[in-house]
Structure formats: C-alpha cells, structure tokens
Amino acid sequence: MQFTSVAQVAGLDFDTIIDVRSPSEFAEDHIPGAINLPVLDDDQRARVGTIYKQVSSFDARKIGAALVAQNSARHLTEALADKPGGWRPLVYCWRGGQRSGSFATILRQVGWRAELVEGGYKTWRKLVVEACGAPMPGPVVVLDGNTGTAKTDILKAAAAQGAQVIDLEGLANHRGSLFGAMAGGQSSQKDFESRLVRAIAALDPARPVLLEAESSKIGDLQLPSGIWAAVRSAPRIRLRAPLSERAAYLARAYGDITTDPARLTAVIDKLRPFQPAERIERWLAQAQAGDFTTLAGELMRDHYDQRYEKHRRRHAFDEQVIDAPSLAPEAIEALAAQVIAQSERAIREPAASPGQG
C-alpha cells in the first residue's frame, strides 16, 4: 500500500491498522486510528540495537527474530484471537522494513490478507510535513475577542449548527493561556500535527472554516506554518462583551482550576514578573477566599486585556464586530448563529463588511 495524500489515509478501507513499532515510538505519533501491537518493546529494541553495535549484525538478527516470534505469538493468542478469516489488516513499522514485514508474513500464513505500508511511518510523516507547510485548502475566518468572550464554546455551538470548524485548542488539549493547561496534558508536536492535517483534509474547500484566534503556540505546541499564515491573514470576527459577563464566564469555564487551589496559586505566582507585588497578593487572597469572579475580572482588566490591545495596535485586521451583551449558556447558540452568518459575509464581501473597525 502506497500513501499519496493525507485524505487517502483518512479513507483507508482496512479492518485494522497495526503499528508494530515500540510503545514509545507509537506514543510520540502514529497513523490516526492505528493500534499498537509491538513486535519489539522499548527494552527489547534497545537490547537488539546494542547487540548489533557491540557484537554483530548476525547475533542481533537472530535474537531479534526470536523476540519478534514470541511477541507475535502473544498478539495472535490475545489481541487478535477473535479476528475472523476475512479480516484485512494494514501493517507498518518505522520504514516498512523487517518488523512490519515479519509480522505481516505471520499474519498471511494464518490466512489473513495483510498488507504493508510502503515506506512505513516515515511515508506518513512526510505527507504530514508537506501538508503542514501548505496553504489552507479553502477560505478561513478567525473568531477573535479578548480573554473570556466564550470563543471556544461559540465555535463548538457553530459546529453543532453545521459550520466547518477546526478546534485548535481541542486538538492541542490546551486553552492557550497561562491558565490553559488541561487534564491529560499535551501530546507530542508530531501527534498534534498528524491530527490537525487530518482535520484539514476533511474540509470542504468551497465553504469557510472557522478558527479561533491563537498565537503561534498553543501551550507547548507550535502551529504549523500553513495554518499560522491563515490565522494571521484571514478576515476576523471580533466578539465584544462586558467585563462582568466575561468574568462570570471564565469562573464557570475554568472550574477545573478553581477547584484546585494549589494549581491556581502556582499559576498566579507565575505572573509576578509582570505585575506589582501587592496586586499578586490581592489575587492570591481572592483565590483563597473563593472569589473567582472578581479574580477573573481583575486578571482580564489588569493583565490580559492590556496585552491583547497592545497586540491589536501592532496589526491591522480586516474584521467585523459582534457585541455580546450576555455570555450566559443560553446566549451561546444565538451568538454562534451570528458568527456563522458573519463568516459567510466576510468571505463574500471581505472589503465591505459592516462593522469593521
């Protein structure tokens, strides 16, 4: 099997995609949808490599073959025990060499129609790198707004209403700010890119796609050059909402932090290089007292809003403005509908959209 595009990989017609690389290789990145059935685990792979370098290639191959046979036998009696005669697996390793070839041979001997990925994982990675540097396939509209304007929730509601949306923060598992870490942590850069380019490949290029305004990094993950170029140059819809509404929204949306006092205190402490000591102490006192709405409001007024406005002054965006008097949960659906309508208008009339400013 030869891969020629990310879209082709997304539409593969196999019962199971099997990655036979070691668990650490699989954890860093893999073809989306693949399961990991390693024919050499991390310790075994290191051991065979050491023998290859320090003893001989023959001894390494002999010991490696024995380990591959043992692990393959275990997979046959455990993970693959219930597979029927017509099961069609696609198998790959790092570069389509001995590990995947050995396992596919065993599967074929059983009677299954196993196929190999030509060039292995390296072929997939090459496609991902190329896609990351390519322009977005269709028109992009960016949803912008100061911290706390419910951009993520509005985009989720827009997607539920049929809009094309790529949830960058969801793919990165990070909300994009100092307070943005999420449960489970972030994956590797390679894994992020793999999932992102697959989402891009699924887009209809004739329709606009909505993205949330981001910096070049989301947490520790870097936006690929193609999508970052789109974020910087696309027309924008800017949400404006009263500080009180934004503070109430943040207090709700960041419940995972407000229920973890030690984590909240640690994040506030990271702001010391940017804020006066007395302000930091007041914020810590508010956190300890559970006054999260007041804390959120002051964080935005005295920290995030100032940085946002400084960024805006450096860039001239083509934008429309939506004023949101309420960010209560019941208001999100209507705001999403407005964003969809404005995004379609921004693509049709990029230089004459009302409300630009």
Residues known to be catalytic = 93
Residue 91 tokens, joined = 């198998």
Spatial distance between the Cα atoms of 348 and 328, rounded to a whole number of angstroms: 30
**Contact by Cβ (8 Å): 243, 301:** yes
Cβ neighbors of 302 (< 8 A, separation 6 or more) are 275, 279
- According to DSSP, the β-strands at 221-222 and 209-212 are unpaired
Residue 72 tokens, joined = 């393959």
Spatial distance between the Cα atoms of 21 and 106, rounded to a whole number of angstroms: 16
Angle between the N-to-C axes of helices 57-77 and 42-54, in degrees from 0 to 180, rounded to the nearest 10:
160
Spatial distance between the Cα atoms of 310 and 11, rounded to a whole number of angstroms: 44
Q: N- to C-terminal Cα distance for the chain? A: 52
Helix (H) or strand (E) holding 142: strand 140-145
DSSP 348: H
Query: For the residues of 33-55, what is the DSSP string, one character each?
Result: T-EE--SS-HHHHHHHHHHHHHT
